[in-house]
Chain A
Amino acid sequence: MLQLRNITKRFGGVLANDQIAITVEPGTIHAIVGENGAGKSTAMRIAYGFYTADSGEILIDGHIRRIQRPHDAIALGIGMVHQHFMLVDTMTVAENIILGAETGTPASLDLDEATARIRKLTDDFNLAVDPRALVEDLSVGQQQRVELLKALYRDARLLILDEPTAVLTPQEVEEFFAILRGMRQQGKTIVIITHKLAEVLAVSDAVTVMRDGRVVGRVKTKDTTAAELARLMVGREVLLRVEKTPAKPGAATLSVRNLTVTPAIADLSFDVRAGEIVGVAGVEGNGQRELIEAIAGLIDPAQVSGDISLDGAPIAGLSARDRRERGMAHIPEDRHRRGLLLEFGLDENAILGVHYRPPVTYGVFVNDREVQRRTAGIIQRFDVRPPNPALPARALSGGNQQKLIIGREFELRPRLLLVAQPTRGVDIGAIEFIHRKLVELRDAGCAVLLVSAELEEVMSLADRLLVIHKGRIAGEVDPQMASAAEVGMLMTGGH
């Protein structure tokens, strides 16, 4: 169906694609995997005409084709769904779908005919979404279906999906895979770009692995394992399982009693003891963020009731700074919104939260020597790359930004660590590192409260697992004994 031959693409001095060759068989689901910056998105954007290759050929159905603009690709039956949706929020589903391919005359738009065609597509491909609904009222999963419909409406035979599951909940992912399998059955060809290996194994027929702009492996999915793919992606052996000894918990460090945050969580009570990791599993948006932020002191006190104590002392009335003073550290779920000052250098980010007290200050002045010493320490111990303290945090990859935040918070030697989505958007190599660091901190006697949307992550890291549903604790399970299915049931409110 689609063949890339010896494609090379350079951005400035960076070789994004180096003589790559990818073959996608018709009627299959083909996964392209690789770490951030491996060149997988670049290759597919070339196939879709967003970029033109410096050299090499694109073949569609065995014929060499010139694809210089997305328009050319669409005419050849190629559709692409981007990681960030390109929808007009204030227009209806049907209006979004026909945008750029309007029916009727220039003066009168024939929406009825378009709506009828869209209805047929939603039936054929099991894409339940109302063509008359406004896009802004749709869930993220439904918006993704609109993007798929946009491509199908233009008679795409080959669909390229860039990180399609990044924004979906575990339930939505399952539904989404069912849709993809249905499309394959109807003869469509699908390419998914991803770095999540479990999903590759679950849905694809064949895999192309990329690293540093080159294709480093082509395998049939049934002949491979997650470990082999990870090794190809990273270029070395990677531990996919977290290695840890059983926890040796001490006294309760954090005690939460009847915590209520209107309207997100109601009447939560639990302890986190020194030297254990307590995981919180749940479908995103069930109160996890509010839970963490209420403990961290980042929610307006008027919305919060209940008792929170740290090492036996009540902290519910304290400011975020005072809570930190008492030994709390926090790795927030959204590193761009909460965790970093993106325009500031790594050095100024490395002192956020301790910027007001010695040794980072002397008097009212910031002690630059100490700032640099601290930053260099974090960069070295947490392997932040590139190791340039003056670089703005924005210039770092997601994984390195995360390592900087983790380094900063670990530097506090916390009694309690709140950590949310520690490995979201982070490369496999860095995930392994972050997991190991969290276990090390636990073993040093820190109490860790971990929230993650990755079920596998909480199940393998946590010593105890709380499942949260609609702001209440739906159950507590032993992650060693419980099955993912069991936890999944609790997550969705079943019993």
Chain B
Amino acid sequence: MNLLFPVIAVAAAFLVGSVFVLLIGDNPIETYWLLIGSALWWPDGIGYTLFLATPLIFTGLAVAVAFRAGLLNIGAEGQLYVAAFATAWVGIVLANVPATVLVPLCFAAAIAAGATWGAIPGLLKARFGSHEVINTIMMNFIAVALVSYFTQYHYRTPGDPILQSAPISANAYIPRVGELIPGFPERIPLNLAFILALVACVLVYVLLWKTKWGYELRATGSNPSAAEYGGISVRRQIVLAMAISGGLAGMVGINEVLGYRHRYYDGFSDNYGFTGIAVALLGRNHPVGVILAALLFAILTRGGIPVDAFTQNVTKDIVQILQATIILFVAAEALFRKPFQRWLTSSPSR
């Protein structure tokens, strides 16, 4: 039942999308075949799709955890930027530290930076009651400008025309999947961070549903007054949830810097933080749902490239329309829920 409505929403969006494709003058079935088929093609299609899904799993989880605590974290974007910069910074300044120490340090830097950036709006809300939506948006502006400044004026290689930092130490690299699985081409940037994302999903699930901390976090999100009554410090939960959320968003930096570019590249995020909101929404704020939703968005992004190139008229704009339509349908879930439930109750039950 929980998965039913997102699935209906996705199907309805594809239906609406096919109307667009028809109007433009292409064949929707062929277009979708190309879209999905190319995104799942072994090994490049699937490799790139999983690579694109990795940051979305992290940000989707981040938004979901905050949402379970009753908070809307619009700030994953800023959190992942500071985290990516922080992990690159550690990889640059501690260049001579051996890999066994440096890689964990870089992980810690990414998570800590994201968590701190998330905890600040959490603290502001807990202490002064100012709304986290406004504050996380503001923190995004600050984050983007701050890391851009540091990159440009302090950590750029002199003479480099691209706005990016100096490369990190090779000791901080994490392996690509191609180095781990024989036969999988090493040119595909899918890396250890994807495994990390799956582990994060398991950990978030255990945290939320198997530990007392998760209970307190969810209780706060479900009914803060009742949580307070039950002896839970709502203020502490708000800060904690935002920190966890920020830490998860920060792990995008691991994928980006340690696994892919090996340096901080300014403006690298393809709106991962904001897409994460849609991923969490579509995934019902559940880790398994987040994985599925992240995969769907990654398929649409990856499959959009050949659709753009090989169909007569459909461009990647249409793919974006499809993405937006899915989000609209999911958000307007009541649209399906009402008639569906009426149908369920009116059908003879005996």
Contact = CB atoms under 8 A, between A and B. Distances in A.
Interface string A349-380: 00111011000110011100000000000000
A344 to B, nearest CB: 6
Given A341-B222, A342-B223, A13 B229 contact: no
Contacts of A389: none
A343 interface: yes
Interface of A: 11-13, 296, 298, 319-321, 324, 330, 332, 337-344, 348, 351-353, 355-356, 360-361, 364-366
B223 A366 contact: no
A338 B225 CA distance: 5
Given A337-B223, A337-B226, A320 B231 contact: yes
Nearest to A330: B229
5 contacts: A296-B229, A330-B229, A353-B229, A355-B216, A360-B212
A352 B230 contact: yes
Contacts of B227: 341
B338 interface: no
**Residue in B210, B223, B225 with the greatest tally of chain A CB atoms within 10 Å:** B223
Contacts of A11: 345
A337 B225 contact: yes
B149 interface: no
B216 A343 contact: no
A324 B223 contact: no
A351 B219 CA distance: 11
B2 interface: no
A352 B219 contact: yes
Contact of B229 (A298, A342, A351, A365): A298
Contacts of A338: 225-226, 229
A332 B229 CA distance: 9
Interface of B: 210-213, 215-216, 218-219, 222-223, 225-233, 345, 349-350
Contact of B228 (A298, A351, A356, A360): A298
Nearest to A340: B226
Contacts of A365: 210-212
Given A355-B212, A366-B211, A366-B215, A320 B229 contact: yes
**Residue in A339, A343, A352, A356 with the greatest tally of chain B CB atoms within 10 Å:** A352
Nearest to A349: B226
Contacts of A321: 231-232
Given A351-B215, A355-B215, A365-B212, 5 more contacts: A341-B227, A355-B216, A356-B216, A360-B212, A364-B211
Given A13-B350, A340-B223, A341-B222, A366 B210 contact: yes
A365 B207 CA distance: 9
A12 B342 CA distance: 10
A319 B227 CA distance: 13
A31 B211 CA distance: 51
A290 to B, nearest CB: 15
A353 to B, nearest CB: 4
Nearest to A296: B229
Given A12-B349, A337-B223, A364 B213 contact: yes
A490 B216 CA distance: 43
Nearest to A360: B212
Contact of B233 (A319, A344, A355): A319
A353 B231 contact: yes
A482 to B, nearest CB: 33
A12 B222 CA distance: 29
B89 to A, nearest CB: 32
Contact of A13 (B210, B232, B349): B349
Contacts of B223: 337, 340-342
A368 to B, nearest CB: 8
**Residue in A319, A351, A356, A361 with the greatest tally of chain B CB atoms within 10 Å:** A356
Contact of B230 (A12, A337, A343, A355): A355
A361 B212 contact: yes
B232 to A, nearest CB: 8
A214 to B, nearest CB: 21
Given A338-B225, A341-B223, A342-B223, A353 B230 contact: yes
A342 B222 contact: yes
Contacts of B216: 355-356
B255 to A, nearest CB: 28
Contacts of B212: 355-356, 360-361, 364-366
